[in-house]
Structure 1
Amino acid sequence: MNLADRLHTAADRLGGRAVLTLDEAELTYGALEELSARLAGLLRCRGIGPGDRVAIMLPNVPEFGVVYYGVLRLGAVVVPLDPLLRRREISAYLGDCGARLLIAWHAFAETAEAGSAGTKADCFFVVPDEFRRLLRGVAAEREISSMAADATAVIHYTSGTTGRPKGIELTHANLGGNAATVARMHALGVDDVVLGALPLYHTFGQTCSLNATVHAGARLTLLRRFEAGRALEVIRRDGVTVFQGVPTMFIALLDHPGASDMSMLRVCASGGAALPLDVLRAYEARFGCEIIEGYGLSETSPVAATNRGGRHRRPGSIGWPIRDVEMKVVDEDGRELPAGAIGEIVVRGPNVMKGYWNDPEATAEAVHDGWFHTGDLGRVDEDGYFFLVDRRRDVIIRGGYTVYPREVEEVLYEHPAVRQAAVIGVPHAELGEEIEAVVALRAPVTREELREFVRERVAAYKYPRRVSFVDELPMSPTGKILKRALARPATGGRSG
């Protein structure tokens, strides 16, 4: 099997229909198939073959699809990189995976060239019109390499929030199966238009947006980067029916003064981080479209569990495992815990990664008997719905009491003045850790008012004694709040 087969099949059936659009730019299924075949031919001329790693550093542009499927078509391995990486990071990733080639967007040429210096990777830069002219002069690689199901298709590098970034090996079967599941669960069809707001270099955008869209024969309308006003414009202009996003996107839409009824959206799906329940309720009340919350990690391709729509949805939960995937909650010894007990969520199934690239020790530490240990704490109820509690590393121990930051964050989001919130533990000489809330506001409020608001709603040991105000919380490129960047934030925050 080969992920590129999905595109070939769709192109045979839907050759003249648009698959990737960015404002006025458009690629049909037939054009994407042809250009990716020619890109594969170009790579073969440069000596790239099956198993070779090709890094791609492209924003959300139609050319991403051309390069992505062209590399896969040849049997080579895609190594997607954030276009905003710095020289040192690029060099580390290219060196770690031994990439033969780095294909980068022309606007990032200087940084890409500097990052590839001293590695084995040559550089190739994509300039839109010039790129297509070049490909027109290259013989197409018509044959799609036949790959074993467990052959590596993509190496995703972790964001490094837990230490040294690791390369996550995802196979053709991992990604193809997960994309097909997403397409089936969202009932994607040829008349659907998916908003491409998620970065395509990340597994969420790659699987749930790009690969699921191609699998279903739908259309993906791209945003270079998410901005609420621009997203609203594209949703209305292009008749978007499916919006997949991270919590910060839904919060930004809520804050936008021009946002109004969006009941034309058939599916709104949230992932990447826990969605505050108050945000979910406010969004649905204002826009008339329910949000389906799911769960997964890059190591699970990424979707592991999700709510289903309508009466099968349980707001506040991450639903139950997708087809052919098992999940359970275990204690520190790996024993399954009963309903209601909090422990680590573990996942087993065809979506679980092949392993960490060239890191057997990290792989053995993360995967035991086929079960991937997520590092996320959760619980499951009597009906089999899973609930995400927190990341294990984020749990605060205050004076011997366990505090789950997400619980306190949920309360903070209930306050109408709070736009973003993160709760962290800071060192304390007597208690071990003290609780601090770092908050971005949408309206004026004092520290004392927020402290009192939370204190009235949680146990005495849980409310934040310290409150810091910032203009914006630090975010990863995929919309996750970076708590590691909040070390002692009170020294740099402004007063309320």
Structure 2
Amino acid sequence: MSTLSLASVLAGSARRCGDHIGLIEGDKRITYSRLWAEALAQAAALERLGVRPGDRVALMCPNTVEFPRAYYAILAAGAVVVPVHLLLRAEETEYVLRDSGARLLLCHSACAEVGGQAARAAGVRMVTVGPQAPDLGADAHLEDVAEAGSPLPTFVTRAPGDPAVVFYTSGTSGQSKGAVLSHLNLIMNATICAFDTHDYRRDDIALGALPLFHTFGQSVSMNTLFRLGGTLVLMPRFDPAAAIELMVAENVTVFHGVPTMYRALTQAAAHASALPRLRLCLSGGASLPGPVLEEFNTTFDASIYEGYGLSETSPVATVNQPAYGTRVGTVGHPLWGVDVEIARAESEGIELLPTGELGEIVVRGHNVFNGYLDRPAESAKALVDDWFRTGDLGTKDDEGFVTIVDRVKDMIIRNGFNVYPSEVEEVLLRHPGVAEVAVIGLPDEECGEEVCAVVVADEDQVPTAEEVLEFGRERMGAHKYPRRVEFVKELPLGPSMKVLKRVLRDRFS
């Protein structure tokens, strides 16, 4: 029987270039051989804590050395990683722990207040990683457990299609869903990104400023650089001026980011004493405006290649690639081994459309996920005839370039993070002064899209906009709550009595 493990990404580089610096954080310089040895030690610790192959282990950690070490430790133990979004509040984190059936939560000490609340409420053990601090309420400290025993001799083997990572992603149903990615999905995505799409080099140094809990940062930055054998410089919190200084100091050659990061870097460059010599830049997570791309390329004397993907596609599905030529305003061509086509959006089956027609973007290939965790009905809607229905509208021209036009689903993408309106609406409707609400995304120069709540107030207790904003701010993650509130007497309704959000977007944009 064939076997495969995502842990082999780190194990392979430890064998091939063990003395090479794979990871930098502050003054820490960690070689591949050391990182892999530490991961095997922590994998053994997880076994001693009762983790078995196939168990799901939640990981709540910022962009510090503890994230990749614990991530590959979970994989080396044969378990499944469930990354936890750091902007979630305790109740939202509790939902992820319960829904995923996590065996335990590995939580960085900096996140232990929220993680501890969530773990206690969900009845899940919390084990801390990183600097120890008193009164964290943890059951154990992973580094201590690792030091108390012997490391694993090698990683636990898995089948190629076995789950490796469960990403909690958004949907129009109002609840996050766990997208199950296999070892094959993620290894192929990292391998093809490292060796087929762009001119990556073994001596490349990339800035890891994208959150590692997010599929873009985790797969395109961490896994791809480790598969290549390059160096990843971690930045726990993105700040454009500090990022420029760090890239100059560490001789960074590769940058991965979302459009808001590129805009911020361009603005900060005007006040910088020196700029990094960037050779390769990739953009994803949201549409990259042409002027932003052009200004960044001119300022940094670099080239941004825009791509497209989703958690369900590991994540990269298409990207502008030198081999096919590049075109501003498009997301390029599919990865090797991946098909991306345009299908009739309103059809229950997959009806592919002729070149140039507008329709739903559908994807098939080695990058398409296994389905949504414990949600067979939603998986069946998303996976039809071996195609994944993305919910995004787009076109494909006669040269094969794919262009994103709009979204079928009502998704909002704020700073590269998905926000689904129905969840925000559900929270805001609990406010006694909110009778009706429709949440929409509006164009924003800084965030790509901003979350706006269009409210019909209760006649007896009309709230202020600030009261509505504060209500959301207290109950939702920082990437979700609205920054703008508009009041209307009634919401526009269509023939089926659904709110016409396009009318609201046109009115308030």
Same-fold call, TM > 0.5? yes
Question: Identical aligned pairs, as a percentage?
Answer: 40
Q: Report what 1:142 is aligned to.
A: 153
The answer (yes or no) to whether the contact 1:263–1:289 under 8 Å persists in 2 is no
Cα distance in 2 for residues equivalent to 1:40 and 1:436: 42
* TM-score (norm: length of structure 1): 0.79
Distance 1:301 1:220, change over 3 A: same
In the TM superposition, what is the alpha-carbon distance from 1:487 to its structure 2 partner?
A: 6.7
The answer (yes or no) to whether the contact 2:168–2:176 under 8 Å persists in 1 is yes
Correspondence list, 1:227-306, <5 A: 227-256=239-268, 257-259=270-272, 262=275, 264-306=277-319
Q: Report what 2:102 is aligned to.
A: 99
Cα distance in 1 for residues equivalent to 2:324 and 2:5: 37
Cα deviation code 1:241-262 (max 9, x no counterpart) = 1101000100111221325875
Correspondence list, 1:93-492, <5 A: 93-128=96-131, 132=143, 134-159=145-170, 163-184=174-195, 185-256=197-268, 257-259=270-272, 262=275, 264-309=277-322, 312-331=325-344, 332-333=346-347, 334-394=350-410, 439=444, 485=482, 488-489=485-486
The answer (yes or no) to whether the contact 1:267–1:289 under 8 Å persists in 2 is yes
In the TM superposition, what is the alpha-carbon distance from 1:14 to its structure 2 partner?
A: 1.7
* TM-score (norm: length of structure 2): 0.77
Q: Report what 1:68 is aligned to.
A: 71
**Which sections of structure 1, spanning at least 5 residues, go unmatched?**
396-404, 407-423, 425-432, 443-473, 492-496
Cα distance in 1 for residues equivalent to 2:354 and 2:64: 47
**Which sections of structure 2, spanning at least 5 residues, go unmatched?**
133-140, 414-420, 422-437, 448-471, 489-509
SS of the equivalent of 1:128 reads coil
Cα distance in 2 for residues equivalent to 1:114 and 1:363: 31
Amino acid at match of 2:64: V
The answer (yes or no) to whether the contact 2:248–2:274 under 8 Å persists in 1 is no
Distance 1:259 1:388, change over 3 A: farther
The answer (yes or no) to whether the contact 2:42–2:142 under 8 Å persists in 1 is no
Cα distance in 2 for residues equivalent to 1:223 and 1:38: 25
Cα distance in 1 for residues equivalent to 2:79 and 2:335: 29
Distance 1:436 1:125, change over 3 A: closer
In the TM superposition, what is the alpha-carbon distance from 1:217 to its structure 2 partner?
A: 0.6
Distance 1:56 1:292, change over 3 A: same
Cα distance in 2 for residues equivalent to 1:78 and 1:436: 31
The answer (yes or no) to whether the contact 1:54–1:103 under 8 Å persists in 2 is yes
Cα distance in 1 for residues equivalent to 2:396 and 2:291: 21
Q: How many residues align?
A: 422
Cα deviation code 1:263-283 (max 9, x no counterpart) = 721101000111011211121
Please provide the CA RMSD for this pair. 2.9
The answer (yes or no) to whether the contact 2:62–2:211 under 8 Å persists in 1 is yes
Cα distance in 2 for residues equivalent to 1:305 and 1:109: 37
Does 2:88 match 1:85? yes
In the TM superposition, what is the alpha-carbon distance from 1:131 to its structure 2 partner?
A: 5.8
Q: Report what 1:452 is aligned to.
A: none
Cα distance in 2 for residues equivalent to 1:167 and 1:437: 27
Q: Report what 1:32 is aligned to.
A: 35
Q: Report what 2:23 is aligned to.
A: 20
Cα distance in 1 for residues equivalent to 2:285 and 2:173: 16
Structure 1 ranges of 4+ moved more than 6 A: none
Amino acid at match of 1:372: F
